[in-house]
């Protein structure tokens, strides 16, 4: 039995649907991320789990108990807000201790648990500082310690890294995951950053317009997106327009002269489909030696990679190549492009 389950969970604001019939099962100790663009319903879902937003219908069960209509303060969940929501007039230690005081935890136990929580996030020496005296990363760690010190059954993270600069954000991703693994708390995070979701999560829930479109492990989600939206939102993708044809008894997808053999019985003759190819799956080869030829229209240096936009008979394709000892292609240069059949994904 799953530790946290959402059954047909929905939220309406008048006639407007924010979340529609969400069904989700989260295992104990799992790190799960709700991923999607602004307005897709991910934050509303998190707020319904927390109890800040009343569900229009559906059910939320935690460890076998129905908490759908339970007040937020009785659910015992740990929450880290996007703004961190620290008390400015309290020290780091007092901020972390606050939840324990509200639960009437004895003073000695409270001191021990606060010390342990601050040690976990490497803030032992900053216990007497105030939030204004901390960096953004340190404030984020205080908020995390405050959420974890109450030993919640579920930790809810609402875009916890969005206020950090790029380098610190990357560092905190690894630290957050290490802390979660060490503590073992079931964690649900909301983000619109696909890199963050992929690097931190055991599973990712992709949401679009209030509905779940795919739930998978990060690698599976990236390698086998089920829709055009997911292929473009999770990483970069080239989308090739195709049409189902039958050729010498084989079922194929014709992409303006390119052919991909597919299983028969799944497709209708003449059906229009879209095929996805990731930029890193495409290799630059000698002209005439690959699947297609093209002209380099633009190139961008990304440090570890070169990104090219190449005009072909199949349209403008994006290619990423490792920055190694080979000379990069120049804008205006002709090149061949090649990739395997296994690199192509037919999308619904």
Tell me which residue of 51, 38, 85 sits closest to 190, measured CA to CA: 38
pLDDT at 165: 84
* pLDDT for 166: 82
Which pLDDT belongs to residue 266? 78
- Same topology between domain 4-232 and domain 236-347: no
Domain 236-347, what architecture? Answer: Beta Barrel (2.40)
pLDDT beneath 50, residues of the chain: none
Domain map of the chain by residue range?
4-232, 236-347
Specify whether the CB–CB gap between 32 and 188 falls below 8 A.
yes
Taking the CA atoms of 10, 214, 308 and 162 in sequence, report the sign of the dihedral they define. positive
| Pairing assessment for the beta strands 154-158 and 186-191 based on DSSP bridges | parallel
| pLDDT at res. 212 | 97
Bridge partners for 188 per DSSP: 32, 156
User: Encoding tokens for residue 321?
Assistant: 């190549």
CA 328 – CA 344 distance, rounded (Å) = 25
The pLDDT score that the predictor gives to residue 218 is 96
pTM above 0.85, yes or no: yes
Pick the CATH number of 4-232 from 3.40.50.2300, 3.40.50.300, 3.40.190.10, 3.90.950.10: 3.40.50.300
Per-residue pLDDT of 64-77, as tens digits, reads: 999 999 999 999 99
3-state secondary structure at position 283: strand
The reported pLDDT for the residue numbered 276 is 95
Give me the pLDDT at residue 265, please. Answer: 72
Strand partners, 4: 26, 62
């Amino acid at each position: 039995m799953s530790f946290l389950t959402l059954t047909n969970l929905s939220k309406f604001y008048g006639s407007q649907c924010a979340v529609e019939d969400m069904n989700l099962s989260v295992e104990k100790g799992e790190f799960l991320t709700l991923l999607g663009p602004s307005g897709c319903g991910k934050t509303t879902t998190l707020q319904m789990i927390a109890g800040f937003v009343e569900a229009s219908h559906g059910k939320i069960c935690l460890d076998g108990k129905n908490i759908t209509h339970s007040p937020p303060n009785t659910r015992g969940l740990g929450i880290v807000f996007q703004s961190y929501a620290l008390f400015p007039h309290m020290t780091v230690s007092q901020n972390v201790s606050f939840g324990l005081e509200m639960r009437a935890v004895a003073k000695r136990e409270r001191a021990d648990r606060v010390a342990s929580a601050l040690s976990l996030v490497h803030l032992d020496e900053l216990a007497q500082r105030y939030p204004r005296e901390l960096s953004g990363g340190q404030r984020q760690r205080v908020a995390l310690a405050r959420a974890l010190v109450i030993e919640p059954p579920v930790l809810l993270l609402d875009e916890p890294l969005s206020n950090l600069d790029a380098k610190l954000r990357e560092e905190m991703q690894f630290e957050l995951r290490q802390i979660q693994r060490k503590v073992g708390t079931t964690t649900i995070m909301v983000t619109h950053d696909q890199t963050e979701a992929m690097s931190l999560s055991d599973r990712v829930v992709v949401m679009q317009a209030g509905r779940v479109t795919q739930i998978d492990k990060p690698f599976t989600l990236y390698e086998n997106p089920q829709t055009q939206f997911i292929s473009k939102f999770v990483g970069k993708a080239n989308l090739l327009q195709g049409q189902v044809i039958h050729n010498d008894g084989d079922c194929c997808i014709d992409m303006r002269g390119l052919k991909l053999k597919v299983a028969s019985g799944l497709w209708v003759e003449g059906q229009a489909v879209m095929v996805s190819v990731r930029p890193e799956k495409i290799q630059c080869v000698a002209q005439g030696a690959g699947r297609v030829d093209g002209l380099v229209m633009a190139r961008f240096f990304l440090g570890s990679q070169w990104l090219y936009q190449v005009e072909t008979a199949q349209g403008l394709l994006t290619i990423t190549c490792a920055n190694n000892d080979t000379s990069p292609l120049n804008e205006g240069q002709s090149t061949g492009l090649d990739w395997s059949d296994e690199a192509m994904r037919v999308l619904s």
